[in-house]
Amino acid sequence: MKISVYLPTKNRSKLLKRAVESVLNQEYKNLELIVVDDGSEDETPQMMAYFVKGDNRVTYLRNDKSVGAPASRNRAIKEAKGDFVTGLDDDDRFHTGRLSALVEYWGIQSKYNNNISGIYTQEVGEIDGVASGTSRKLSTVKFDDFPDNNQIGNQIFSPKSHYEAIGGFDESMPAWQDMELFIRMTKSFGPARLLDIPLYYIDNTPRTDRISSHEQRVRKACQLVIERHYPGRPRDHQKFWLQVFSPHYGFKPKFEDFQVFNKMGFWPGGLRKLIEAKTRAT
């Protein structure tokens, strides 16, 4: 069983080296790594030439101009020759046993005829290379669970055919691309299942280049997810907007939100107080 790992990157050559090595050092050897360089202007091309020369499992693709992470992931998925596909962000890394554990767990699910869309794992958060905590995700994530939170995280292990059937990542999404793909994946192929082991190390070091720090993109993504996947479900709309104003982002509601939520006919618990306080302050 061959696994394809996609890895989009841009101008993060120092972090990328660690990510690439974490894939090539996997206990599971039947893999390919597809790195898509989204127009880097640093040493990424030279470094990747070294990896390509040293390991025939590495494929390096380069976008002449930046097209964004979703399009870069889709390019890698299209090129993938594996039976299964999963991803890695260029600032994160794999535990050495991640892929072998995912393959074994998929086999167990298949043995008992559990129809699932994919597998996800627990994550270890790191800040400046120091562990800051381990995630506590739900054992199963269904389509109806996403309004509460994206419990899958940022990566899923699924058959390549699943990605192809739903059309890959939506390149029009300004943020929440991972969650939006998981929404379609679980809607089409059933729940995703947790492998309850921390096998993915996610870099939570604060940086200004994170898409999650761009408020307007997150707001627009929330609107698109609601319109496309949960129309006519005001309670779920409320939950998605609570995600926008969660401590994860640190965004503050604005006066305009008062008008939007009033028109939509709902008031999230503490949000009304925040908006009213904002109104009084202005």
User: What pLDDT digit, counting tens, does each position of 128-165 carry?
Assistant: 889 999 999 999 999 999 999 999 999 999 999 999 99
pLDDT at 15 over 60: yes
**Closest CA relative to residue 261, chosen from 270, 149, 213, 212:** 270
Between the CA of residue 4 and those of 36, 38, 80, 94, 250, what are the distances in Å? 13, 19, 6, 14, 35
Could you count the other beta carbons within 10 Å of the beta carbon of residue 128?
A: 9
Burial degree of 87 (CB within 10 A; 0-12, 13-18, 19+): buried
**More confident of the two residues 213 and 202:** 202
pLDDT per position as a tens digit, 258-274: 666 666 665 555 555 55
Lowest-confidence segment of 23-27, 212-216, 236-240, 260-264 by average pLDDT: 260-264
pLDDT at 71 over 90: yes
pLDDT at 44 over 60: yes
pLDDT per position as a tens digit, 218-234: 999 999 999 999 999 98
pLDDT at 278 over 50: no
pLDDT at 187 over 50: yes
* pLDDT of the residue at 205: 86
* pLDDT of the residue at 72: 98
CATH of domain 3-203: 3.90.550.10
Q: What percent of the chain shows pLDDT beyond 90?
A: 80
What is the C-alpha separation between 77 and 183, in angstroms, rounded? 18
pLDDT confidence of 255, banded at 50, 70, 90? confident
* pLDDT of the residue at 213: 62
Mean pLDDT, residues 63-85 taken together = 97
* pLDDT of the residue at 11: 96
* C-alpha count within 13 angstroms, C-beta hemisphere, residue 229: 24
In the chain, CATH 3.90.550.10 covers 3-203
Pairing of strands 93-94, 192-203: antiparallel
Mean pLDDT, residues 197-201 taken together = 98
Q: Report whether 8 contacts 90 (CB < 8 A).
A: yes
